[in-house]
Amino acid sequence: MNSDQIKTGPDKAAQRSLIKAMGYSNEEIKRPIIGIAASYNELIPGHIYLDKIADAVKAGIYMAGGTPMLFNTIGVCDGIAMGHEGMKYSLITREIVADSVEAVCKAYQFDGLVIIPNCDKIIPGMLMAAARVNIPTVMISGGPMLSGGTKKRKIDLSHVFEAVGAFNAGKITEDELCWVENKACPGAGSCSGMFTANSMNCLAESLGIALPGNGTIPAVKGERMILAKHAGMAIMNLVAKDIKARDMMAKSSFRNALAVDMALGCSTNTALHIPAIAHEAGIELSLALINEVSDETPHLVSLRPAGLHHMEDFDDAGGVQVVIAELAKKGLFNTDLITATGNTFKQNIANVENLDTEVIRPIETPHHPIGGLAALFGNIAPEGSVVKQSAVAEKMLVHSGPAKVFNSEDDAVAAMKAGKIVKGDVVVIRYEGPKGGPGMREMLVPTATIVGMGLGSDVALITDGRFSGATSGAAIGHVSKEAAEGGPIAALRDGDIIEINIPKKSLNVRLSDEEIAKRLKEVKMPDKKYTGALGRYQKLVTSASTGAVLE
């Protein structure tokens, strides 16, 4: 691909005429043309200012001798879509974003690409497109939101969901709930803990396709705008050196990303998105690799919801590059790979310094000797499931208890509000997977309700759906095969004893294989047929264990 296809030679006079109609001069047309894929909108706090980020990127491109061309993609805020049918439409936007960026890049034959996402599905969608089109690419996100509350009591979005559960349980007043609602999200940016958006923004740094600081510099700082200008300049350097997206996102890059994922205790959603991005780069990753990397990678950073710190604290301590440097000390990160700076990781981290060893633990004194995520396998999840083990209470790492089985998130939440969930229970929510949902809804409402009721250290939850990055507790998602595809989770009944052993990476029900097979033959699948975007997605989507990519 190169922009000569739309601008060079007598045969391209019509194309040049159309470009000039938009006000581009001959001088601009002759320069390398850089596509800017932004997801600015007035729907998402992390995106409401991305027009300003795009302007800064344009300035950087012009300063470095290129011509920017801006286009937009869609975006959905998971927090706003949470708890109703809108959440079915969240994950599917990942593929829509990827398709739209790919389509525009191919149609315009850009010389380079800058992607500007900031929230959950938009980040992996744009990275998937970058892997597909494989031209020089730099990612610059909008950056994280500051934490809310007061100096003595810092809070964030997950506290609001938990406060709703506490209010419904009669533990706080409506005035207290209102205070949390008004203080938790103080302004623009991606929600301020190590939730999915910030997880993916940090992992983009570890993949090398985003500049140092991308994952952590707060949205409201002038430093974020400076980074955006540098991204505009960096893309021109990559174009000059012909460093393409897949040069940065090689196979060992994804192992690097998983190592940082484990060190940061990232969202379980990364177990969907990292394999999906790798798939577009022609690389297949298995859930088993999560355990392989996790077992050798210590957990160094504990941010909300697992810990007390927020993204601004992580940034003040030095951010992702410090974590990379710590991992490199033990040979857990390949620093020889090329990055969006045009240099290797080894060059990028040469002068980094850990400025707060409470926020970023030295590799010799980690929070945990193993990583933040684990993949669990067993007769409930033969293809695997995922848990954020760094956010699980010690006593729940090994747990057995009776199943309370629900065929939808809505039924489970209603039971919780009615006081039907008690200590020791294992809540099972099924038919919420990629096909069964369809769309694999996040389960922040039920998990936050459990925490708000004071049962976060006493109740486990398993689902073939997924969880928000703001989830804490013994919440096990991505159970595969999912119920809608005849997975064993469809055979579970109330009272079955579920056995969870996170250290041994196992998830089982105390039933024989013969009993499970017998029950599955008797299962009547819910009749969920959809048209439009959900209908197409339901027909084409694959298992969560392979990233829920489309066939």
According to DSSP, residue 187 is labeled S
Angle at 322 between CA 320 and CA 323, to 5 degrees: 65
Q: What is the DSSP string of 216-262?
A: TS-TTSHHHHHHHHHHHHHHHHHHHHT--HHHHS-HHHHHHHHHHHH
Please, are residues 263 and 229 in contact by the beta-carbon 8 Å criterion? no
468 belongs to the catalytic site: yes
Please give the Cα distance from 31 to 62 (Å, whole number): 10
- The single residue of 3, 147, 302, 468 carrying the catalytic annotation is 468
List the structure tokens of 398: 């090994």
**Strand, helix or coil at 210?**
strand
Closest CA to 169 of 452, 423, 459: 452
Please give the Cα distance from 107 to 101 (Å, whole number): 10
* Residues composing the chain: 551
List the structure tokens of 49: 């200012």
Please, are residues 13 and 186 in contact by the beta-carbon 8 Å criterion? no
Max CA separation in the chain (angstroms): 76
Distance spanning both ends of the chain, measured CA to CA: 25
Closest CA to 478 of 549, 373, 413, 383: 383
List the alpha helices (DSSP H) in 424-512: 444-452
Closest CA to 543 of 496, 498, 484: 484
List the structure tokens of 473: 């507790």
Please give the Cα distance from 530 to 11 (Å, whole number): 46
Please give the Cα distance from 98 to 102 (Å, whole number): 6
According to DSSP, residue 438 is labeled T
Active site positions, annotated: 468
